[in-house]
Amino acid sequence: MVRVLLLVLLAVIASAPPASAHGVSDTADLQLAQSFAGNELTVVVRRTPDVPGPLHVDLIAHDPVRPVGIDVSLAAQRTRVDVERRGTHPALLSVDRAGPWELVLTADTGERATVPFRVLTPRFGAWEPVAYGGLSLAGFLLATTLVGAMTGRRGGSAVSGRRRVVVAVSGAATGLALTVAVTAALLSSAIPPATPEGALPTQRVDPADGSAPGGRPYVNLALSTDRPPVTGVEFELRLSLTDGNTGRPVDDLVAHHAALTHLVLTSADGRFFRHLHPVRAAPGGLAVRVTPERPGRHLVHAEFERADSGSQLVSGAFEASGAVLGPAGPAGVAEADVRIGDAVAGRATTLDVTTGEKADLQPWLGMAGHLVLRDEAGGFFGHVHEMTGMSGRPDETVARFGPTLRFTFTFPRPGRYLGWVQYQRDLTVSTVPVTIDVRGEGG
């Protein structure tokens, strides 16, 4: 019986639901990439299991680092972080309630970013009181049964008979309690987890009102700049997101692969490439600083996810004037052994990228590697992740992936595609440009 109890306990523990890659559970840290103050930062808001309690915030800076001082504010609290090197820069604040908060980053340059997050505290799932209660009751009844059996041997025949009846009833009750606990534990994976305290309320979605299938309405994008884009001159690219149904600002973005928004910016010829993460400047307003190096048309593709919805892709473009500047290629270009399988439209194509000899890659944006794809005209855009499982979702300080990254993608039609493979080592993001010629079936 004791062995059975231990097996039940293991089943209960193993049945806890895992954290999701979209949004953040009450058991996970929030990781959000931010292109801020001339740096690529990952803001990590560590899980706060109890409130009131401390709030640990880490700013992870990636190479190259532009030294800057940043004030980290939360409500009336403020602390300063000096970003002078790559690595982790900690800040300590405190929270006194579950629910929505806004972390404000203010750089010495005057730039400001607001990082929305929620303090989530766990609640018991519907199955947990049944499983743990049944397990506790079974333990108590087992102890009662053992005591009754031992004392029954020392009593008279009449007393012993009554003891045996009590022992039999107690044993049956123990078996019933164990059955209930085991059943609850085994069914736990099919029971929706309890909503943590402080979580965003779910919204009833009705596709008849213009919503996206299984989610909220699609988002409209409007681009603007604070000055005409000119090569070699930094300007602010602004993204205005509005609800496709109501026209109101969209301010319900959630963590989507360790960012609120992934913005891919490429020149028309594909020689200029940036994977950036705009900061939240206002409700429905995002902003990022950009310095173009090539004149002409630049394509903007932005990926994000709304609460209670799936991921969405919006696109736009802007024109830059001036002369060609800098090297003819994206920043952080690295050499790697790239092997591309037979690329046929409509079939899965495998791309292997060997980055070195050691498994020393760190996850970036929650994944071991990223592959961004675009056709030559810029009308098609794709973004896929390396196929390695990311169990535990380690933060960017953990190096244990690679050295070979494998991607699989199905191209919709024949033609030439421009691609960029990205991965991280020693907190430095590298980019490997690739060109893939896709043939038609039988071509």
Give, in order, the Cα–Cα distances in Å from 170 to each of 87, 147, 212, 221, 431.
Answer: 60, 11, 56, 67, 67
Residue, of 392 and 348, whose pLDDT is higher: 348
- The answer, yes or no, to whether residue 219 has pLDDT greater than 90, is yes
Burial label for 123, CB within 10 Å (0-12, 13-18, 19+), is middle
- Mean pLDDT calculated for residue range 33-60: 94
Instruction: Report the predicted TM-score, pTM, of the whole model to 2 decimal places.
Output: 0.78
- Mean pLDDT calculated for residue range 251-266: 93
* Token pair belonging to 208: 């008849």
- Residue 22, pLDDT score: 37
* Token pair belonging to 377: 């005209």
Backbone angles phi, psi at 318, to 5 degrees: -145, 165
Q: How far apart are CA 200 and CA 175, in angstroms?
A: 41
Residue, of 154 and 430, whose pLDDT is higher: 430
Least confident of 124-128, 355-359, 394-398: 124-128
- How high is the mean pLDDT of the chain? 83
- Model confidence pLDDT, tens digit, residues 32-42: 999 999 999 99
Contacting residues for 100 by C-beta, under 8 A, at least 6 apart: 116, 117, 118, 198, 200
Answer whether 123's CB lies under 8 Å from 180's CB. no
